[in-house]
Amino acid sequence: MGDKHELPSMRGLLIDLDGTLYHGNNRIDGADRLIQYLTDSDMPYRFVTNNSSASAADVAGRLLNMGIPAEPHHVCTSAQAAAAYIAGKKPNATVFIIGEKGLQEAADEAGLREVTCEQPDFVLQGIDRTLTYERIAQAVSYIRAGSTSIMTNPDLLLPSDNGLIPGAGSIGAMLKAASGHEPVVIGKPSTILMDYALRDIGLPAQHTWVIGDNMATDIAAGEAAGCGKLLVLTGLTNEQNYEYYAEQAGCRPDAICKDLSELLTYIHEHRN
């Protein structure tokens, strides 16, 4: 792992949610104590999620319902980062949205204008569980005619009450195949979401650590952004599959904690 003096300093944290703090609607043991410790000790943190379907307020509400302290301003979603990215490229841009409430609200808050029957500047695509073939055909037509394709996150699958279902990445793969155009990917492991979260927390990468359970998204995103990388074995990655996922991700964490109790101790001992 390397000597801790060679690692980025730990002055702020970018924390994954699903698989790190909860599974579905079930809080992972110690998640409430971890976030309360960060709050009580005034350590800056942000919840960083690839989820584009929920608003920051919705995400915070879900955490609160599980007994995990949360405020909307602590949440950074791929929808918010995508809307900010577009607004940075072209203020007041027009967008054709394939997505749900969180993406639509983020676009509106960023000053983007949603259109449905005219050529947009951007096709903004996330998860959409009411998607129709007609809207896919519209999006493909717009991209082929020159609209820039933006995909909130590359997750091919996402968990549901009925098991894994197609995610935003699966919809994006269909748009890419049909249009022949590569989308701009916002969510982890892209640095776009990470840079958005770093600006929001007000810290440079060399003073910030990424915490998560997924080597391909969380740890790879931390690697790409230049942050410290801390893997927790509370979700997708465990001791048995670690080597496989590390090889797949092409990177390794700077530290590994088996659970959130061990994580809290690590943060307490290594924070600057």
Residue 16 is among the residues annotated as catalytic for this protein = yes
Torsion angle (degrees, nearest 10) of CA 18, 23, 24, 26? -130
Find the radius of gyration of the CA atoms of the chain.
18
Q: How many other C-beta atoms are found inside a 10 Å radius of the C-beta of residue 241?
A: 13
Residue that has been written with the tokens 């879900």 in this structure: 62
CA triplet 27, 60, 199: central angle to 5 degrees?
Answer: 115
Residue 58 is among the residues annotated as catalytic for this protein = no
| DSSP letters spanning 194-225 | HHHHHHHHT--GGGEEEEES-IIIIIHHHHHH
Q: Alpha carbon 123 to chain centroid distance?
A: 19
In SS3 terms, 107-127 reads as: HHHCCCEECCCCCCCEEEECC
Give the Cα separation of 200 and 35 in Å (integer).
Answer: 18
Which is the catalytic residue, given 16, 121, 213, 218?
Answer: 16
Which is the catalytic residue, given 3, 18, 32, 128?
Answer: 18
Find out whether 271 and 45 touch, Cβ atoms under 8 Å.
no
Give the Cα separation of 211 and 178 in Å (integer).
Answer: 36
Q: Which residues are catalytic?
A: 16, 18
